Amino acid sequence: MLREGQIRIPSGCAISGIFSRSGKPVCGDRIVQSIAVMHDRSNGLGGGFAGYGIYPEYKDCYAFHVFYDDVEARQRGEQFLERHFDIVNLSRIPTRKVPSISNEPLIWRYFVNPLPHKLADSQLDEREYVARCVIRVNSTIEGACIFSSGKNMGVFKAVGYPEDVGEFYRLEEYSGYCWTAHGRYPTNTPGWWGGAHPFAMLDYSVVHNGEISSYDANRRYVEMFGYRCNLLTDTEVIAYIFDYLLRRQGLTLEEAAHVVAAPFWDTIARQPEEKKKELTYLRKAFSSLLITGPFSILLGFEGGMMALNDRLKLRSMVAAEKGDLFYVASEECAIRAIEPELDRVWSPRGGEPVIVRLNQNNREEVQP
């Protein structure tokens, strides 16, 4: 089969997110009901979800979700994992048969900790060690793809409509404080399991509606820092950009948003002096990470979620609140379908991030 990058299919997407500020768990079936309303925005070639706070019993372990093409790929993958990690638990991810979802790869889940001596030998901090292992598996082990690698979170994705993907992965059996969802309508490239959203690195996950015209410039830049864009689809690079800016460069979410959705120079020129300095610095220091083209994205991370539009707002996004719950979606109907009465509904402006976090007293140690 020709995969993404080898073939171009010229042909919209849907995103939805729920965030419980109080930390009170939300059942996975809620996000499935929400994204299902926007069925006609996707075409059955990809659906996926990311849930946070879903593995409390293993919250200190990295949860790896892995696709294997076949048994041999699994053996190669597990050999690597055993050499680098202490595997606390492993199992197939429970799925159920859904008529519309077929040709599934082998889908496994591992709860792991880095082997202490390996980690010490590497002279890397723990998260960098894990990230490098993930990149190595995905770029050197044929037929293996670690598509989720954070703590107490997980990505579930497949080729199919999102509501079918939710049923396939039995999402009603999970609950967490944050959910993001994606319905895919691939423009330019075919749909395959690895190419479905969300794309994740450590606890960062991205769902995206849009098309990045700066993909190759962004890819060349992040690949200088060891990332490998193996999935040859534009959204993958956004996940690595945020991992690079937030984890490795230590930028705040607002700063990272102003890098990827930088205001125009003439908009910057009208800002107060301090703000002008800051925005100018960010645009100049990370000019290769400006993302051009239309996008609306949801970035999930440990303890929070950020919604962001491109600076021209070329894709739709509506946000809403009801008590401690925050909702965001491509269309308001996807929010109303699960929460008919809302306290507040608004459309975030282009390039202005909406950031929600767990309330202070419910926040566990959020890593820097």
Partner 1 sequence: MKINAEKMHFKVLNQQVRQCEEPNIVIDNCCGQRYIAAGLSGREIEIYGTPGNALGAYLDGCEIYVHGNAQDAAGDTMNDGCICIDGMAGDAAGYAMRGGSMYIRGNAGYRAGIHMKAYQEKQPLLVIGGAAGSFLGEYQAGGTIIVLGLGCKGVPVGNFCGMGMHGGRIFLRTEELPPDLSQRLVCAPATPEEMDSIRPALERFCAFFRQDEKELFQKPFYCIVPNSRNPYRQLYTGN
**Which residues are designated catalytic?**
13
Q: Of 86-94, 141-149, 263-271, 300-308, which segment contacts partner 1 by CB under 8 A?
A: 263-271
Q: Of 161-169, 193-201, 219-227, 265-273, which segment contacts partner 1 by CB under 8 A?
A: 265-273
Please tell me whether residue 29 binds partner 1 under the rule CB under 8 A.
Answer: no
Q: Which of 349, 359, 364, 366 binds partner 1 (CB under 8 A)?
A: 349
Dihedral angle computed from the Cα positions of residues 88, 90, 95 and 97, in that order, rounded to the nearest 10 degrees? -170
Structure tokens at 137: 């598996």
* Nearest alpha carbon to residue 282 among 181, 351, 184: 351
DSSP letters for 213-235:
TTHHHHHHHHHTTT----S-SHH
Please tell me whether residue 347 binds partner 1 under the rule CB under 8 A.
Answer: yes
Please tell me whether residue 267 binds partner 1 under the rule CB under 8 A.
Answer: yes
Continuous segment of H or E residues that includes residue 257: helix 253-260
Structure tokens at 111: 């709860």
Backbone region of residue 339 per phi and psi (left: phi > 0; alpha: psi in -120 to 50; beta: other values): beta
Question: Whole-number minimum distance, CB 160 to partner 1, in Å?
Answer: 19
Please tell me whether residue 30 binds partner 1 under the rule CB under 8 A.
Answer: no
Strand 106-114 and strand 85-92: the pairing is antiparallel
* Nearest alpha carbon to residue 145 among 153, 134, 154: 134
Comparison of 8 and 349: residue with beta carbon closer to partner 1: 349
Q: Which of 256, 289, 337, 358 binds partner 1 (CB under 8 A)?
A: 337
Q: Of 139-147, 171-179, 240-248, 264-272, which segment contacts partner 1 by CB under 8 A?
A: 264-272
Identify residues 300-319 at the interface with partner 1 (CB under 8 A). 312-313, 316, 318
**From CA 306, how far away is CA 304, in angstroms rounded?**
7
Please tell me whether residue 40 binds partner 1 under the rule CB under 8 A.
Answer: yes
Residue for token digits 């330019």?
Answer: 188
Residue type at position 184: R
Comparison of 104 and 332: residue with beta carbon closer to partner 1: 332
Q: Which of 171, 201, 289, 334 binds partner 1 (CB under 8 A)?
A: 334
Question: Whole-number minimum distance, CB 252 to partner 1, in Å?
Answer: 24
Q: Of 159-167, 204-212, 215-223, 341-349, which segment contacts partner 1 by CB under 8 A?
A: 341-349
Comparison of 71 and 333: residue with beta carbon closer to partner 1: 333
Cβ distance 155 to 200 under 8 Å? yes
Q: Which of 24, 270, 276, 277 binds partner 1 (CB under 8 A)?
A: 270
Question: Whole-number minimum distance, CB 315 to partner 1, in Å?
Answer: 9
Question: Whole-number minimum distance, CB 183 to partner 1, in Å?
Answer: 13
Please tell me whether residue 289 binds partner 1 under the rule CB under 8 A.
Answer: no
Q: Which of 333, 343, 364, 367 binds partner 1 (CB under 8 A)?
A: 333
Question: Whole-number minimum distance, CB 67 to partner 1, in Å?
Answer: 32
Residue type at position 137: V
Comparison of 84 and 313: residue with beta carbon closer to partner 1: 313
Cβ distance 295 to 315 under 8 Å? yes
Comparison of 264 and 281: residue with beta carbon closer to partner 1: 264
How far are the Cα atoms of 131, 146, 225, 239, 256 from residue 136, in angstroms, in the given order?
9, 10, 13, 16, 26
DSSP letters for 113-149:
EE-HHHHHHHTS-HHHHHHHHHHHHHHHSTTEEEEE-
| Contacts to partner 1 by CB under 8 A | 37-38, 40, 266-267, 270, 312-313, 316, 318, 331-334, 336-337, 345-347, 349-350
